[in-house]
Amino acid sequence: MQNEAQFDAERIKRFGEQSELLLRTYHAEFAKDPTSRATESSRSNLIALRHTIKQIYGEAAALAVANPFDFAADAVSSGG
């Protein structure tokens, strides 16, 4: 398992790009139908990515990825 010190700028960038894509997908699905399975699935994907980053790299890394993209931390943490 890697520690926070090994969570370098390249990984933050890559995870940030993934987070941004997942967030855009969630917003698009939410705009179509807030109660659809696709909306719930895309929200779950956001939660899963943040949770995985937090488990492997720690809370600081999860926040480093989330904050630059205004990641919906409240919505994500309430579901995870």
Is 70 exceeded by the pLDDT of residue 1?
Answer: no
Q: Which pLDDT score, from 0 to 100, does residue 32 have?
A: 96
Is 70 exceeded by the pLDDT of residue 22?
Answer: yes
Q: Which pLDDT score, from 0 to 100, does residue 74 have?
A: 44
What number of H helices and E strands is found in the chain?
4, 0
pLDDT tens for residues 36-76? 999 999 999 988 988 888 888 888 877 777 765 444 444 44
3-state helix/strand/coil string of 1-40: CCCHHHCCHHHHHHHHHHHHHHHHHHHHHHHHCCCCHHHH
Q: Is the dihedral of CA 1, 60, 38, 21 positive or negative?
A: negative
Tell me how far CA of residue 50 lies from CA of 17, 32, 34, 64, in angstroms.
Answer: 13, 24, 21, 10
Q: Which pLDDT score, from 0 to 100, does residue 50 have?
A: 86
